[in-house]
Structure 1
């Protein structure tokens, strides 16, 4: 598996000229989706709703969101909320529990670890991690081959 392709809008943010990425390669224009931020689902938890508000403003400013991103963004925000809840549980109860078998990792440790992995994957889709942001600013390879033999 190679890198996940970046959205066209992100490729063009640091392009060398109109319609070209930072390496000067022509980028096909994105589909003509209406670029309107989705409304948050009413069922989001409080923590997820706070994350929604935090990221939607920035993603809207960058013209990266469309209404059909609602489901993916909702899952990202609820994953964040699950990570926060698991982390708070660990802080409150500790990383280990006593069991018949002896000292075991608290179940919240596995929940936080799994949520963290999922969170990174979703965050990358929206360019929300330092690595994905950095890759965007360098005109990261989208895995579709490279026309520039010197890159």
Structure 2
């Protein structure tokens, strides 16, 4: 299926753009979750990041039980990105091409041809994938600016009444 990904109904309501004719009435509505335990398959660094990121998402009111797998993927990407960064610090962004290691220059010195480190290339790819996952959870400044999270903590009774009124009017 080509084209834009559909915007979830709860985001339309939060943004104030929900229209009854454009709302998917059969869309699943997962309940907000308390912080879930990290999956066992996560590496140690990913598990550590899981704890900090789930705390933040829970406080913002964006975490649901259905998000666990996507969040696990993000945490593992983060751990791999950190690992690639550590290898770049050790070996550098530019390394000598190993294909030319056995060749000599005309003066008899070993030939060195600079190439980008495979860790640098991996780091770039991982950071792109992480950015996509961060946008899915509203964790970048631009994606966050479009979301008004429902933290179930209305500022006052009037705001609570307005929220209930808006949701009833939009049929959500």
TM-score normalised by structure 2 residue count:
0.64
CA RMSD of aligned residues (A): 2.5
Q: Displacement, 1:9?
A: 3.8
Q: Which shifted more, 70-79 or 4-13?
A: 4-13
1:1-151 correspondence runs (5 A): 4-13=5-14, 15=15, 21=16, 25=19, 28=23, 31-36=28-33, 37-99=35-97, 100=100, 102-136=113-147
Greater Rg over alpha carbons, structure: 2
Listed as ranges, the gaps of 5+ residues in structure 2 are 101-111, 149-172
Listed as ranges, the gaps of 5+ residues in structure 1 are 16-20, 138-151
Report how many residues are paired: 130
| Corresponding residue SS for 1:53 | helix
Q: Is the 8 A contact 1:38 1:65 kept in 2?
A: no
Q: Higher helix fraction: Structure 1 or Structure 2?
A: 2
The aligned residue for residue 147 of structure 1 is none
Q: Displacement, 1:52?
A: 1.1
The aligned residue for residue 104 of structure 2 is none
Q: Is the 8 A contact 2:46 2:79 kept in 1?
A: yes
